[in-house]
Amino acid sequence: MLAATKRMEIDMSRTAWMLAGLLFVVPAAAVADEPESPAMTSSAATSSFDWAGNWTRMELAGKDGALQPLPAAAKLTLEVDKDLRVSLSVGCNRIGTQIMPGEGSAVTFAPGMATRMACPGEIGDAEQTLTDAIDKVAGYEMRGDDVVFVDAAGKPLMLIGR
């Protein structure tokens, strides 16, 4: 009987150690799996331009470099909040990012996230052009009330208007 009691104490001790280990390992693994992302904080204070609001027009640079309206089938939603977080879609996937103002007219977009639905035809093409443009943005310029995002060489990538 004494041997059985001793074995039970050892089994319980192992179980306690395993549970204690899980209490450490599981939270550590959860933290380790979180992707690093820029702080989605209020960088609006560094921007003199009022980005916030709904933008209702968009043009994207075509293969020839000229800005062209979105396809007729596109359903643009483009909202920027006061902290410069961006939510947008051209009619298929939702894209989330943040405008990151720099010095003067320098601006970039933070690495973002998007839903991953297959988007057929011209909507899919427009979305691919849009995500490629977002990755290349290095600055902006004003054209009347419109904003034109440009690459590092100053070539227009995308125009947005209210």
CA gap 73, 69 in Å, rounded: 11
Give the pLDDT of residue 134: 98
Per-residue pLDDT at 79 exceeds 90: yes
State the pLDDT confidence band at 21, using cuts at 50, 70 and 90: very low
The CATH number of the structural domain formed by 44-161 is 2.40.128.270
Residues 139 and 147: beta-carbon distance below 8 Å: no
State the pLDDT confidence band at 48, using cuts at 50, 70 and 90: confident
Nearest by Cα to 52 from 106, 101, 115: 101
Backbone angles phi, psi at 130, to 5 degrees: -65, -50
Domain ranges of the chain: 1-34, 44-161
